[in-house]
Structure 1
Amino acid sequence: MPSLEVMLREPGRPALPAAGSAEFTEAWLTNRRLSAHTRDAYRRDITDWLTWCAGRDLDPLRATFLDVNAYARHLEGTPTARGGRPLSPATVARRLSALSSWYDFLVKLRAIDTNPVAAADRPRVDRDHSATVGLTPQEVDALLAAAEADTGPTAARNRATIALLADLGLRVGELISLNVADLGTERGHRSIRFVGKGGKVRRRALTPGAAHAVDTYLAARAAAQGLSVSELTGPLLVTASGARLDRHAVFRLVRRLAREAGIPAWAKLSPHSLRHAFATAARAEGVPLEDVQDAMGHADPRTTRRYDRDRHNLDRDPAYAIWAARARRRG
């Protein structure tokens, strides 16, 4: 069997790095508008597929949908080293989605003729379900109160972190990517600018509570460095050493404060729990679905609805509104 390099240099095909090489995967990732976190996840996904192929002496350029199906069943039936359980259908589906994008890139470069993932049997994922553990409005209040009561050198930063998650429903990747220079004003609103999913530059309004928490934190940080707030630069949320706060630290913070707040499910919470709570609370307060969708940066309104944990509440059944309107017409 010819090598991948030879196959990619057959007559009529462009000279490309081998599909199994790091250079090819990096070329594919560079071609996509992805966050650093998503880029890392996709890189691991492709590496896992190539490792699986190598263990079976399977050339990834000659893989068929049957091979992809076998790989998916392997993922669904093999306990992971980290959790001791097989991957969930949603995670398997995400991995196959990454793999499909990788093969689409190969097709566009004429390295292969068809995408083997296209005909594969992907897991059925309930779009109306999310595994993220949510929070009630009262639990969000308790979490914010725990942040207010927090003490120590990072207390002000912790309050700003939780306020931004709770009030804006940011993704953790969006949160930790924020820089001091991203703060601004727009038509009388305090605002924050960031790059959202898909590489889109977005701007959100800061609530008075979030703005106060951020201002208090930056004032304390500037004073500790002997600077004015206007002289601060770099990441908005930093560690004691001045490095950018990472997602793992935010996960730990949410769970610690939730435990201190007495939230029963504290050990299963994540920053995403606050994002779910944001969507549910906004809809419960009557915010139109389209506005919540825009605020959360969702391309598909079905995604926003999945985040709305209160969507099945019978109090919101449109039958009541129709009946009430009919009653008004009858006088």
Structure 2
Amino acid sequence: MTESRELQPIDGTLAPAGVPIDALRQLVTAWILATGRAKSKHTRRAYARDITQWFAWLDECGVGPFEAYQAHVDGWSESMLTIDLSPATIARKISCVGSFYRYAIRQGKNYGITATVNPAAEVERPYVDRDHSETAGLTADQARDMIRAADADRKRTAVIVRLMLEVGFRASDVDRARIEDLGEDRGHRTLTVTRKGGRRQRMALPVGVARAIDELIGDRTEGPIVTTRTGQPMAHSEVFRTVRRIGEKVGVKVTPHGLRHTCATLALDAGAPLRDVQDLLGHADPRTTRRYDRARENLDRSASYKVAAYLGV
């Protein structure tokens, strides 16, 4: 299956009057490819899901995609609040819709579609606290329990959990990790990963992580580090199920992102500088990393005390 085929999200039942379904499908696919070129396949699929959900909402309202106006986006936003989606998720979906219409206004004529209005252009997004993460992280004791349970489960499980919990990997990083990218540098075991946007980053592997990887790959010298029983790369969904299953064993509800979140919070709790944790997670913006600092509101850390002590007044 080609990438463009995977990205076609439009169901024939959503074809609006006067807009050929093939033309709409082609426009959406072109938008996803153009907008998400530098993003992961999971992000591009999220775009496809978001715009499909928007079209489904309009279909229920009896409105075509290019007949919508701001009130429809406002109504969709309100409907998402009733199913307990987070403000950040709602804001992302509205931004996705706005991006599609900006593209359609510029490029729609190439597909026989006339788009003149962006119904999301002036929609007020839900407030999102950029200094706070809603992801539930684990305590240090729960993290230790996860690692012990993973080590006792199977070699593959140990690598998945340790990479996320000790190195801050995303599920997609685990999917893409390859034996050829393992290395050494001045006594450090390393693994080079491809971050969002295609940037390559060399990561240091703690002793326990390196040992788990060595035990898993055995004599293999190439290919994915984490594979299925048939030697195929591990699917994103299977990584998620593995983490959830080990979490249930130790009595916690956690996702792959929850383990990555835990890695960040524990690193900061242990005294790692914010800039080092930012590098560990591959964040472009330090504000993203700062959300994981659970102790940032501790008044004992106030910089004002350091200024006063430095001045000696």
Instruction: Note whether the superposition's TM-score is higher than 0.5.
Output: yes
Task: Assess if the C-alpha contact under 8 Å between 1:276 and 1:308 holds in 2.
Answer: no
Normalized against structure 2, the TM-score is what? 0.82
Cα distance change on mapping 1:107 and 1:174 into 2, 3 Å: farther
Q: Which residue of 2 aligns with 1:11?
A: none
**How big is the shift at 1:166?**
1.4
Q: Which residue of 2 aligns with 1:116?
A: 119
**How big is the shift at 1:203?**
2.5
Q: Which runs of 4+ in 1 moved over 6 A?
A: none
Which of 66, 70, 80 is the matching residue for 1:61? 66
Q: Which residue of 2 aligns with 1:269?
A: 254
**How big is the shift at 1:304?**
0.8
For structure 2, which runs of at least 5 residues remain unmatched after alignment? 1-15, 110-114
SS at match of 1:269: coil
1:38-65 Cα shifts (integer Å, max 9, x gaps): 1222111111111222333323224222
Write out aligned runs for 1:159-238 (5 A): 159-186=158-185, 188-219=187-218, 228-230=219-221, 233-238=222-227
Cα distance change on mapping 1:105 and 1:146 into 2, 3 Å: same
> Aligned equivalents of 1:186 and 1:175: distance in 2?
21
Normalized against structure 1, the TM-score is what? 0.78
Is 1:27 the counterpart of 2:12? The answer is no
> Aligned equivalents of 1:108 and 1:207: distance in 2?
49
Task: Assess if the C-alpha contact under 8 Å between 1:147 and 1:159 holds in 2.
Answer: yes
For structure 1, which runs of at least 5 residues remain unmatched after alignment? 6-16, 78-84, 220-227
Write out aligned runs for 1:126-165 (5 A): 126-150=129-153, 155-165=154-164
> Aligned equivalents of 1:200 and 1:115: distance in 2?
33
Task: Assess if the C-alpha contact under 8 Å between 2:243 and 2:256 holds in 1.
Answer: yes
Alignment length (residue pairs): 291
Q: Which residue of 1 aligns with 2:77?
A: 72
Q: Which residue of 1 aligns with 2:101?
A: 103
SS at match of 2:66: helix
Write out aligned runs for 1:316-331 (5 A): 316-326=301-311, 329=312
Which of 50, 60, 64 is the matching residue for 1:45? 50
Cα distance change on mapping 1:273 and 1:316 into 2, 3 Å: farther
> Aligned equivalents of 1:61 and 1:193: distance in 2?
45
Cα distance change on mapping 1:66 and 1:275 into 2, 3 Å: same
How well do the aligned residues superpose, as a CA RMSD in angstroms? 2.6
Is 1:4 the counterpart of 2:7? The answer is no
Percent identical: 39
SS at match of 1:229: coil
Q: Which residue of 1 aligns with 2:86?
A: 88
Is 1:305 the counterpart of 2:290? The answer is yes
Task: Assess if the C-alpha contact under 8 Å between 1:276 and 1:309 holds in 2.
Answer: no
> Aligned equivalents of 2:266 and 2:193: distance in 1?
23
> Aligned equivalents of 1:165 and 1:73: distance in 2?
35
**How big is the shift at 1:216?**
1.2
> Aligned equivalents of 2:118 and 2:293: distance in 1?
35
Q: Which residue of 2 aligns with 1:82?
A: none
Larger Rg: 1
Task: Assess if the C-alpha contact under 8 Å between 1:283 and 1:292 holds in 2.
Answer: yes
**How big is the shift at 1:120?**
0.9
